[in-house]
Chains A and B, each alone.
Chain A
């Protein structure tokens, strides 16, 4: 297996996502198979080749800093699971 159960747990926590024991077992097997498949890339010679992050040759697209109306706060908050007084509401972060 290319990835251990502990690593699956660790990666899930890096993303802040919980997983059931059954999901961890299945993902360990499936991710291992896929990561093994990725080894095909190691056979490609990329010595001196620069990386491509984007196919368009655009850089630093700028515009004038002109104020424009934004979306009304109530429209944005309309989809919020919990809101109060014009804010998104979450559980206390600090004890």
Chain B
């Protein structure tokens, strides 16, 4: 055995040991569960821990492996963000509204992972209905950043990112509507990938903003990211927005040569107020990619980057408001029946079932779509969305990938931005435009900010729609030339 703890293994390391029978899934799963017992009290990455289920699935995986029927993910312990439906296992969305909800079906991605031999150790904490950038909007408890327990893990997939960083699972799934996979991955020092809109079926993903939501993996390195993508990507007829395209073998993109790759660095992403250590890490990462053979254009311009944030905070709440109208206290979820009429019960159910941020976004969306404001806000935002897409299209005529920061700052303190929603929204400025344009984008560890005691920094790599392979190639080559992904927090 290598001199590492079993829970610190990556998917590909664990999978090698499993297939050589030097390790059983039962042993690996028990090691991860022991790790959860050791650190979860401090990290609080989970809403639900499914210990019994995990051990049962581990035994099944060991039988599959013994029968020679193993795939790369077979028997590998994972955490699933609590916005993804798991049949018979509570799926709360971090909300009081769904605190007791048991999905009657599996999400498409859960089904795919189960077929591949999933061992699920738990459902990961999140901002309520995936609305937030810090995981402080969970109705149950905040999650702590494993690198500094006083700080946020980012959000909304903060539980998934913290669980991977703290080795409370080997990999996790998250969802990303405006940066909710990439920003927590950056703040927790792990790899987080939001594929192209339509690449992965959203069937069974509880809807937040339907034209922006996308599921993706959070992993310890880029190889693991490719392995998870190979299982969860692809068309599904139950999601009419899932793309009917063939899926390549993403592990074929894992090459360490960047010759011929054209990188663009959009100036507008060095936003006002960006931490100087973040800026320096991004510039150093681009220089490293150039050393590996890429050509770099430092003068790419995407002028609509600023307005993209306002565009997003109109479109996402408008779609959210329509999606969240289903929570009426009648069909499922929290039901407040203290009123005198059906309508009053519905009004009370929403007042007491939703938390502050969700109510704020419902109000923003309802306002933006209401009579007299539709043209000024919603329609205007949709037109700006077109401009944002066109600017990216033009940039990708000349560049294969764009490289930017993920978050303008490292992880902030718990409580620091809770009272100021607009400041919280501004932390998504570098990740939102990709959701608006539907582009694939990854966050890869690229350094540590020493002034804050060594908090992780992530670099973002973006490509044109359905060009996940180029992103993985650049991410892998960069990762293999650096050691950032090997660092683990001390807990």
Contact B366 A14 (CB under 8 A): yes
Contact B387 A90 (CB under 8 A): no
B354 nearest CB neighbor, chain A only:
A17
Contact B240 A58 (CB under 8 A): yes
Q: Residue-by-residue, is A1-34 near B (CB-CB < 8 Å gives 1, otherwise 0)?
A: 0010001100110111111100100010011011
Given contact pairs A33-B422, A58-B240, A49 touches B386 in the complex (Cβ within 8 A): yes
Instruction: State the Cβ distance, A35 to closest chain B Cβ, in Å.
Output: 7
Looking at A17, A34, A63, A78, the one whose CB has the most chain B CB atoms below 10 A away is A17
Contact A27 B333 (CB under 8 A): no
Query: B315-372: which residues lie under 8 A (CB-CB) from chain A?
Result: 321, 325, 328-333, 335, 337, 341-348, 350-351, 354, 359-360, 362-364, 366-367, 370
Q: Residue-by-residue, is A28-45 near B (CB-CB < 8 Å gives 1, otherwise 0)?
A: 001101110110111110
What residues on B are CB-neighbors of A20 within 8 Å?
351
B104 touches which one: A7, A37, A43, A76 (CB < 8 A)?
Answer: A76
Contact B345 A78 (CB under 8 A): no
Given contact pairs A54-B211, A55-B437, A91-B342, A78 touches B359 in the complex (Cβ within 8 A): no
A55 touches which one: B197, B328, B422 (CB < 8 A)?
Answer: B197
Contact A37 B310 (CB under 8 A): yes
**B195 within 8 Å of A by Cβ?**
no
A30 touches which one: B304, B382, B421 (CB < 8 A)?
Answer: B421
Q: How many interface contacts (CB-CB < 8 Å) are there between A and B? A: 160
Residues in A lying within 8 Å of B, measured CB to CB = 3, 7-8, 11-12, 14-20, 23, 27, 30-31, 33-35, 37-38, 40-44, 46, 49-56, 58, 61, 63, 71, 75-76, 78-82, 88, 90-93
Contact B351 A18 (CB under 8 A): yes
B377 touches which one: A38, A50, A55, A88 (CB < 8 A)?
Answer: A38
Contact A79 B380 (CB under 8 A): no
What residues on B are CB-neighbors of A37 within 8 Å?
310, 313, 422
Contact A23 B422 (CB under 8 A): no
What residues on B are CB-neighbors of A44 within 8 Å?
304, 307, 380, 384, 387
**B48 within 8 Å of A by Cβ?**
no
The docked-state distance in angstroms from the alpha carbon of A19 to that of B352 is: 9
Instruction: State the Cβ distance, A54 to closest chain B Cβ, in Å.
Output: 5
Contact B382 A53 (CB under 8 A): yes
What residues on A are CB-neighbors of B146 within 8 Å?
none
9 tightest Cβ-Cβ pairs between the two chains A and B: A55-B438, A51-B382, A81-B335, A79-B332, A46-B383, A17-B350, A18-B347, A61-B240, A75-B104
Contact B384 A54 (CB under 8 A): no
Given contact pairs A38-B310, A51-B386, A90-B342, A56 touches B363 in the complex (Cβ within 8 A): no
10 contacts between A and B (CB under 8 A): A18-B344, A27-B359, A34-B313, A46-B380, A53-B211, A55-B197, A56-B198, A79-B104, A88-B330, A91-B342
Residues in B lying within 8 Å of A, measured CB to CB = 101-102, 104-105, 197-198, 211, 237, 240-241, 243, 304, 306-307, 310-311, 313-314, 321, 325, 328-333, 335, 337, 341-348, 350-351, 354, 359-360, 362-364, 366-367, 370, 376-377, 379-387, 389, 421-422, 425, 436-438, 465
Instruction: State the Cβ distance, A69 to closest chain B Cβ, in Å.
Output: 12
Contact B387 A46 (CB under 8 A): yes
What residues on A are CB-neighbors of B307 within 8 Å?
40-41, 43-44
Instruction: State the Cβ distance, A57 to closest chain B Cβ, in Å.
Output: 10
What residues on B are CB-neighbors of A76 within 8 Å?
104
What residues on B are CB-neighbors of A56 within 8 Å?
197-198, 241, 243, 438
Contact A17 B362 (CB under 8 A): yes
A61 nearest CB neighbor, chain B only:
B240
Contact A15 B362 (CB under 8 A): yes
Contact A42 B367 (CB under 8 A): no
Instruction: State the Cβ distance, B417 to closest chain A Cβ, in Å.
Output: 13
Contact B331 A55 (CB under 8 A): no
What residues on A are CB-neighbors of B465 within 8 Å?
55
In the complex, besides A14-B370, A80-B330, 19 extra interface pairs with C-beta distance below 8 angstroms are A11-B370, A17-B350, A17-B354, A27-B360, A30-B360, A34-B425, A38-B310, A44-B380, A51-B383, A51-B385, A55-B389, A55-B465, A56-B197, A78-B102, A78-B104, A79-B102, A79-B104, A79-B332, A82-B335
The docked-state distance in angstroms from the alpha carbon of A42 to that of B343 is: 37
B359 touches which one: A17, A50, A82 (CB < 8 A)?
Answer: A17
Instruction: State the Cβ distance, A37 to closest chain B Cβ, in Å.
Output: 6
Contact A49 B422 (CB under 8 A): no
Looking at A7, A43, A44, the one whose CB has the most chain B CB atoms below 10 A away is A44
Instruction: State the Cβ distance, A10 to closest chain B Cβ, in Å.
Output: 8
B342 nearest CB neighbor, chain A only:
A91
The docked-state distance in angstroms from the alpha carbon of A35 to that of B198 is: 31
B373 nearest CB neighbor, chain A only:
A35
The docked-state distance in angstroms from the alpha carbon of A20 to that of B360 is: 13
Instruction: State the Cβ distance, B195 to closest chain A Cβ, in Å.
Output: 13
The docked-state distance in angstroms from the alpha carbon of A2 to that of B429 is: 23
